[in-house]
Structure 1
């Protein structure tokens, strides 16, 4: 757990440091002086004076970084002395033209987006393999309490193969998941191949999950109960990789959804019948139980390994840009759903505790699939967080970059600088808003973590 937290802090700190580095580059390019650029907070562990007059620091706490530009003390003095304007200072931030300050404020979010483009480009350039399941599905009765799932309402049946959605090919279950999740409350056209071989077109509208803000239709992958790995109770009962479960407690099993249904409705030992090299065998498994009371047998079933081939450089870049744009669009849509009350705020807003926990958990768990896969999954997740960080900072809230851009744009349009007192009031209002949002997010994080 401690290792996960450390990894999470390093990952989140990397993104914040990249963000601040964007401000640093823009400040130097526009002639604004930078006094300190620090990676990390707290006690300075190492420092070096750069040729441009800036001081570079490595600090104790790996929770991001900060930039101190020339003129920040000037701002403080102007407030304390009640000056109507900022004293003119060469290289000072508040002495610079509003357009230069807009550029500096924009550079942090921009470099976060460029970081995401870089990561996605590298991923698509080299290609990657991933684990998924076939596009054969099993519908479930309910996905939200008291609501029959759209899959059942639409007439989907166990063994149906969803071969396309809105004319887009869906060769794997992960393709189905992605399209459904990103189109809540939007009608979809499914081309379905029945077990009999006939092909039908079915229209279905995903339900919005208010906890996660994604679309759901209520299907699971049709996974044959062929064991890929065993541990714990199943290993102790004598099951092996390659065994095929055929019945549990006297009920025939054709897929893992049927197995899960039996597991959720029974307490105690499970009588397992399975095939090993065509010979029928039996075993009794005494399960362990999870924190929420669900039985755990210790079996992992076979998945499908899919391969995304590498793309030429320019195709990889264009694909990466499209992925960043799509993620931004989905973020804007989610924000709209949040304001319309369709998504629960306590689940929609993730604070630093939850983000750190997720980064650490994803990094450590993905490494079990191999170093290459682990690095890809970790940096892919960091790229999504980087996009969210850019979007969040561009919100027109005082103190955030978006609020600063709005303020300096107002100065430029009116051709008259705001007074130190006006800027201080603007930033104070922003600080109250941000602290309130942060407090709510941390409270939600604590609820999320304590609920497990």
Structure 2
């Protein structure tokens, strides 16, 4: 399956599931409140399939699978027969109207918890918050290769993603954080990461680089891929050799090689390169040579080798619980995700967080495809996150969204009468303009990611 086709397919699957649950929330509560539902449509445009139930509701799957709607009997849209006025949405008490409108986002919130429960039952493979080589602020804080971040500012960080979520908000605030970690020997260590020293305009899209963090799963092993003919390594090193030491200094990762070779070359003379070749330990005598680096346009000491093609790193963390344990775990995870999302939204509104993090349909499609390839648990987590995002987005007090309608009803409660039609129409135009701007920004960010 091509990446483009897979992205479109999994986007349709994701949107179809989330929209169906969202609209079912409106539909289910509307029915309980005695409102006549005329149509329940998944997708927009011409129906590809439809049928009616005994209540006269048409269920349809439409041609454009990027949304859906529930159409209810309402005098605001057309004339309602006198015999059916009691079933019209606009004739219902305000608390019932509030319940019907709020039911969509609430359904997405419930779906998020349910999906996370299923994810925890299956078990989601992940990467622990274990560090590779550090530099910059991370190294200055005393964080070292092999340290595992256990808690940041008192919040548990079971995975690298957990750690990044906490660090991102603290970095935007330029707030120092206390870190509880365990080192490579299992000893507990306490560190303080001085995020207040980050530049005001640091790249929020590349937080690890700004801090100087590298996760252990991001670092390439020191495995030889190819050997350049007539180089220092020709006839000595072979493809597949695992370099373990250079001139008596241990090598763990591919990035360790260049500085050791530079130090060796500047010192001069021959030295030993120790390798593991299919379980056999060898010590090979050689001497590096200088050649022009095409990137820096400067002479560099090299061995004439390239790294082996890297395989996907193995997961070293598994988040799995029993049926009962998974219930509070799902609620905790939902609460944490909701808190982080709202905190990031607030920072975007104040201009503290970069608007580049807003993604549109293209990025969502790519992530949908990527997570689907990684297994059911990872795709379910993606669906849960998307469902929560849909719930939060729809509750924003923007006219044309559910939150905008709820705002109208709250105003009606306060003033004792509905807003004028003129005010509501003006609100609809404002809401459409805001949504168009948001969608335009998301699309721009998507295109920018593709071209860069």
TM-score w.r.t. length of structure 2: 0.75
Q: Is 1:253 paired with 2:263?
A: no
Give the secondary structure class of the aligned counterpart of 1:42.
Answer: strand
Q: Is 1:220 paired with 2:214?
A: yes
Give the secondary structure class of the aligned counterpart of 1:343.
Answer: coil
Task: Pick closer, same or farther for the CA change 1:430–1:190 going to 2, 3 Å.
Answer: closer
Give the Å deviation of 1:212.
4.0
Q: Is 1:21 paired with 2:16?
A: no
Give the secondary structure class of the aligned counterpart of 1:120.
Answer: helix
Give the secondary structure class of the aligned counterpart of 1:53.
Answer: coil
2:426 maps to: 425
Give the Å deviation of 1:75.
2.2
Give the Å deviation of 1:23.
1.1
Q: How many residues align?
A: 398
Out of 183-192 and 167-176, give the one that drifted further: 167-176
Consecutive unaligned residues of structure 2, counting only runs of 5 or more, are 228-236, 262-272, 285-305
Q: Is the 8 A contact 1:36 1:57 kept in 2?
A: yes
Q: Is the 8 A contact 2:152 2:179 kept in 1?
A: yes
Give the Å deviation of 1:423.
2.3
Give the Å deviation of 1:430.
1.4
Residue deviations 1:271-323 (CA, integer Å, cap 9, x gap): 995432124399xxxxxxxxxxxx8741227635333342342x322221221
1:349 maps to: 358
1:75 maps to: 76
Separation in 1, partners of 2:346, 2:206 = 11
Task: Pick closer, same or farther for the CA change 1:420–1:191 going to 2, 3 Å.
Answer: closer
Give the Å deviation of 1:448.
2.1
| Correspondences of 1:169-318 after superposition (within 5 Å) | 176-177=163-164, 179-181=166-168, 183-184=170-171, 185-191=174-180, 200-206=189-195, 210-212=203-205, 217-222=211-216, 239=239, 244-246=242-244, 253-258=251-256, 274-280=276-282, 297-300=308-311, 303-313=314-324, 315-318=325-328
Residue deviations 1:84-108 (CA, integer Å, cap 9, x gap): xxx9933222222222211111011
Give the Å deviation of 1:168.
6.4
1:146 maps to: none
Q: Is 1:53 paired with 2:47?
A: no
Consecutive unaligned residues of structure 1, counting only runs of 5 or more, are 79-86, 141-148, 264-270, 283-294, 367-373
Give the secondary structure class of the aligned counterpart of 1:398.
Answer: coil
Residue deviations 1:328-382 (CA, integer Å, cap 9, x gap): 111111112212322221x122222322232123223x1xxxxxxx111011111
TM-score w.r.t. length of structure 1: 0.75
Q: Is the 8 A contact 1:39 1:66 kept in 2?
A: yes
RMSD (Å) for aligned C-alpha atoms: 3.8
2:109 maps to: 113
Out of 331-340 and 247-256, give the one that drifted further: 247-256
Give the secondary structure class of the aligned counterpart of 1:254.
Answer: coil
Separation in 1, partners of 2:258, 2:90 = 63
Separation in 2, partners of 1:191, 1:358 = 31
